[in-house]
Amino acid sequence: MKRIGIVAKVKQDKLVRQTVNDLVRWLSNRQIQPVLDEEIGKPLGHPDCLPKQELPEATEMLVVLGGDGTLLSVARLVKGRDVPILGVNLGSMGFLTEVTIEEMFPVLEQVLEGKYRIDRRMMLNAQILRQGACIMEESLLNDVVINKSALARILTLEVVVDGNYLTTFQADGLILSTPTGSTAYSMAAGGPIIYPSLASILLSPICPHTLTNRPIILPVDSTVEVTLRSEQRDAYVTLDGQVGLTFLENDVAKIEQSEYTVPLVKSPFKGYFEVLRTKLKWGER
């Protein structure tokens, strides 16, 4: 590898600055050119910076320093480019950024020696349709969330799977997630944890009015269409918790498997079950 991109949490605290500077120095000492996201690189005075959206095309690998939110923003930019992402956790509860700061350089040594494995995570493709026209389309790694503001009325959401009517939920909202996203908002809403390699789509209602409404795991090749059937001016659809728009009456969210995957560098020091035990504090009293 000759060029490695670095994306870091924009928050300019001491740990972020020190970690970025240490990584730049470490790569430069090995004749590898570090290319920084300009949002972090310019304040640090680094000469080689690019806008974040240009990094996947200009580099052979991306190191993401921060939490899952930082990694999710990068994952949506890769889109079919075979650029591995190494997520390094800077202190938040990250399931995707599973490598610690202490493990970062040993993992990078193995990467440079070609001794690493890639975990390809499925994505979803979401189209938002208004009066039959697509007003937004995006691939995402975690989830699509349709919900209401704190004081809004309960939502009426009609769900159709592969052209077959499933049910109409009366709920605070719905979450459609990948297996990767099953440990995010869906888990907080009572959804199951799905092993990342089990290709599927998880539908989880948020606080349903009918208590028998339960999360459903659907085949990965399903096409799910969610239509807002209530007159509602405070409903929103959000992708990966970061981008979205107002969801109006009769708007349709069409969700299916994306053609893209996200290549994540696996930690050689821990497996998925250890990550779950550690992050969720299983077995602790």
Residue 238 placed within a domain: yes
Helix H or strand E segment including 186:
helix 185-188
Round the CA-based radius of gyration of the chain to a whole number and report it.
20
Report pLDDT digits (tens) over 55-68. 999 999 999 999 89
Q: Same structural domain for residues 14 and 98? A: yes
Domain housing 223: 123-260
Number of domains in the chain: 2
User: Buried (b) or exposed (e) across 25-44, using 16+ Cβ within 10 A?
Assistant: eebeeeebebbbbbebbeee
Q: Same structural domain for residues 136 and 87? A: no
Question: Facing residues of 201 across strands?
Answer: 218
Structure-block tokens of residue 56: 């996947």
Report pLDDT digits (tens) over 85-115. 999 998 666 788 889 999 999 999 999 999 9
pTM listed for this prediction: 0.92
Residue 285 placed within a domain: no
Is 162 labeled as catalytic in the residue annotation? no
Residue among 263, 246, 250, 225 nearest 126 (CA): 225
Report pLDDT digits (tens) over 247-266. 999 999 999 999 999 999 99
pLDDT of residue 211: 84
Q: How far apart are CA 251 and CA 228, in angstroms?
A: 6
User: Buried (b) or exposed (e) across 180-214, using 16+ Cβ within 10 A?
Assistant: bbbbbbbbebebeebebeeebbbbbbbebeeeebe
pLDDT of residue 91: 67
Structure-block tokens of residue 239: 């992708």
Residue 136 belongs to a domain with what CATH number?
Answer: 2.60.200.30
How many angstroms separate the most distant Cα atoms in the chain? Answer: 61
Q: Cβ distance 34 to 96 under 8 Å?
A: no
Catalytic residue among 37, 68, 172, 251: 68
